[in-house]
Structure 1
Amino acid sequence: MEQREIEIFLMLADELHFGRAAERLHVSTARVSQTIKKLERRIGAPLFERTSRRVELTPIGRVLSDELRPAYQQIHDAIDRATAAACGGCERLRVGFIGAATGKFVLEVAEVFRAEHPNCEVQFHEKQFGAGLGPLRGGEFDMLLAAVPVFGAREADLTCGSVLFEGDRMLAVSARHPFARRPSVSFADLAATKVLRTTQAVPDYWDHALVPQHTPEGRPVERGPSFATAQEMLALVGAGFGAYPVPIQATSYHARPDVAYVPIHDAPPYQWRLVWLSAAETANVRAFDQAAATLAEARRT
């Protein structure tokens, strides 16, 4: 089997969807289908069961996937080690983060990571929320730690790590706003004020996960001016141009006399994850994600 055939087979085994597998590999759906048919002819048995509603591995396909995956990973790890050796054993991992609270966590993860990978230099890059996923896709860094929705098929080229930590949602409002005198607000209250919007660099579904288009009762949520950075958002809020939901960590890292933070009592918490390009995944990326998960778990116990 050629390397590309193995990649296509294993990706389809993961996704169980020809279209999503093709998107993640940046090939056509026809290429995926042709490759699988070629493998099935070579092996002499179906590897996938296909219906109009689902794709599933056959027993033979499952055995092939289980046996191929460790060997394929060993090949990638060997290439990573050889690449590191070619540059004198010096490796580099660039980690992006959004906000001071996430930056502090990234620094702590880096200390755990360096204990096991002393030859890998970890570089840190703060990015503004309005930049969205552009810098990650543009190769400015290898991983991003941010409060992001679960992408699923909508961002098929990305891999999300596990939830590392959470934070309650607060509504940032002007200190002069009537909400500032309340102990808490609800999602329904968003219809009673303008809510700021992020720049267009953030996908619509990501924006809607942060600010619903309608309240639970179906009332539309009016949107206010746009912002690209946290400081722009806070300046607009403080001046009374609108409100915006933020994680509870903002009360410590972005305390301002003109801004009040009010709990949103019926909102799910923000969840922070590491995210990276699936095609650019390396042993160091996986190791850093594991170090982050280990540190997060230690903090919860």
Structure 2
Amino acid sequence: MNSARLPERYELEIFLVLADERHFGRTAERLRLSQPRVSQTIKKLERRIGAPLFERTSRRVQLTPLGAQLRDDLQPLYQGMAEAMARATATARGVHGTLRVGFLGVGAGELSPTIMDTFRARHPGCEIQMRETHFSDPLGPLRAGEVDLLLTRLPVTEPDLTVGPVVLTEPRVLAVPARHPFSRRSSVSLEDLARDTVFGITGPAPGYWWDFHVPRSTPSGRAIPRGQDISTFQELLALIAAGQGISPVAASVERYYNRPDIAFIPLVDAPDTDVAVVWRTAADTARVRAFVQATRHALDINGGPARF
């Protein structure tokens, strides 16, 4: 059995910050330590491992191949440990502090006030902060830690994310310019999309996510032309109004974003679009669990997801 003593947590933190900063002075400032302390800790770690982790010159600090390997191995383990400590602390302290909720579009729709009121009544010591997200990067703020959970459109099939209860389900309509030939029809089908141009999307949104909402082909296999890429919902509406293309959207858009230069036509054969609560699996805190419980309670009161 190997009797070598494992590095302390603070040693690993210093190593990871130096691997990120590549500068002893900035590392010391970031960790609020003295620069000699940082240097001594790294030398101690290198002696324990038996090889250099950094190449040091008068101009720069670079990871050695061994140092890069150690950084890649340690980062997910250290992050997991930090998140486990955060979850334990949150559980011990109860539901207090601030819960940051991201929302896409109308969020949970008419169910939103019930969810929020239920949560606030149960946990008056926890403040809710709301932040709008955009479909060019619907999951980015969650992964970046800028929000604790999301009310976002499905599908979401990401290995690091948990999809909770569906809070809103609604049919879809086709948004077209007010003078478009489709505007005189009582309904359209997905096959009709091949007769005009839809829009692509900029940003890191999952491809499968946008393809569900704006398909690349009709059910019969006809290609649907894609035109300009867009990044925000207001940009999408402006381009439709300007005659640059058409787009499937949720039925609630007609109620909340109705404008005279756009017509909304029922899209009869498109699958419904759902909104659900989504959070990072590794960040399943007491606050997140409390919000999910409040959501389930609101769903029970409502008899299921909100509908349009």
Structure 1: 5+ residue stretches without partners = 1-24, 28-74
**Shift of residue 97, structure 1, vs aligned partner:** 0.4
> What residue in structure 2 maps to residue 62 of structure 1?
none
> What residue in structure 2 maps to residue 187 of structure 1?
190
- Structure in which a larger fraction of residues adopt helix: 1
> What residue in structure 1 maps to residue 65 of structure 2?
none
> What residue in structure 2 maps to residue 248 of structure 1?
251
Compared CA separation, residues 164 and 90, structure 1 to 2 (3 A)? closer
Give the conservation status (yes or no) of the 8 Å contact 2:171–2:273. Answer: yes
Q: Does 1:263 align with 2:266?
A: yes
Q: Does 1:159 align with 2:166?
A: no
**Shift of residue 150, structure 1, vs aligned partner:** 3.9
> What residue in structure 2 maps to residue 96 of structure 1?
102
> What residue in structure 1 maps to residue 173 of structure 2?
170
SS at match of 2:275: strand
Give me the CA root mean square deviation: 2.2
Give the conservation status (yes or no) of the 8 Å contact 2:218–2:224. Answer: yes
Q: Does 1:223 align with 2:226?
A: yes
Cα distance in 2 for residues equivalent to 1:273 and 1:253 = 19
SS at match of 1:162: strand
Compared CA separation, residues 26 and 158, structure 1 to 2 (3 A)? farther
| Percent of paired sites with the same residue | 44
Q: TM-score, normalised by structure 1?
A: 0.69
Q: Deviations 1:28-74 (Å, cap 9, x if unpaired)? A: xxxxxxxxxxxxxxxxxxxxxxxxxxxxxxxxxxxxxxxxxxxxxxx
The number of aligned residues is: 223
Give the conservation status (yes or no) of the 8 Å contact 1:97–1:106. Answer: no
- The residue identity in structure 2 corresponding to 1:116 is R
**Shift of residue 81, structure 1, vs aligned partner:** 3.5
Compared CA separation, residues 173 and 135, structure 1 to 2 (3 A)? same
Picking from 91, 104, 125, the partner of 1:81 is 91
Q: Write out the 4+ residue segments of structure 1 that deviate beyond 4 Å after TM superposition.
A: 75-78
Cα distance in 1 for residues equivalent to 2:168 and 2:301 = 11
Give the conservation status (yes or no) of the 8 Å contact 2:100–2:130. Answer: yes
Give the conservation status (yes or no) of the 8 Å contact 1:101–1:253. Answer: no
Compared CA separation, residues 210 and 26, structure 1 to 2 (3 A)? farther
Give the conservation status (yes or no) of the 8 Å contact 2:183–2:264. Answer: yes
Give the conservation status (yes or no) of the 8 Å contact 2:100–2:128. Answer: yes
Compared CA separation, residues 103 and 121, structure 1 to 2 (3 A)? farther
Picking from 126, 137, 143, the partner of 2:143 is 137
Give the conservation status (yes or no) of the 8 Å contact 1:165–1:296. Answer: no
Q: Deviations 1:227-257 (Å, cap 9, x if unpaired)? A: 1111111000001101111111111100101
SS at match of 2:165: coil
Picking from 106, 115, 126, the partner of 2:112 is 106
SS at match of 2:136: helix
**Shift of residue 226, structure 1, vs aligned partner:** 1.5
Cα distance in 2 for residues equivalent to 1:291 and 1:275 = 14
Give the conservation status (yes or no) of the 8 Å contact 2:87–2:283. Answer: no
Picking from 121, 125, 130, the partner of 1:119 is 125
Cα distance in 2 for residues equivalent to 1:127 and 1:103 = 15
**Shift of residue 92, structure 1, vs aligned partner:** 1.2
Q: TM-score, normalised by structure 2?
A: 0.67
Give the conservation status (yes or no) of the 8 Å contact 1:195–1:224. Answer: yes
Q: Does 1:275 align with 2:278?
A: yes
Cα distance in 1 for residues equivalent to 2:159 and 2:87 = 23
Give the conservation status (yes or no) of the 8 Å contact 2:91–2:285. Answer: no
**Shift of residue 272, structure 1, vs aligned partner:** 0.7
- The residue identity in structure 1 corresponding to 2:238 is A
SS at match of 1:81: helix
Greater Cα radius of gyration, structure 1 or 2: 2
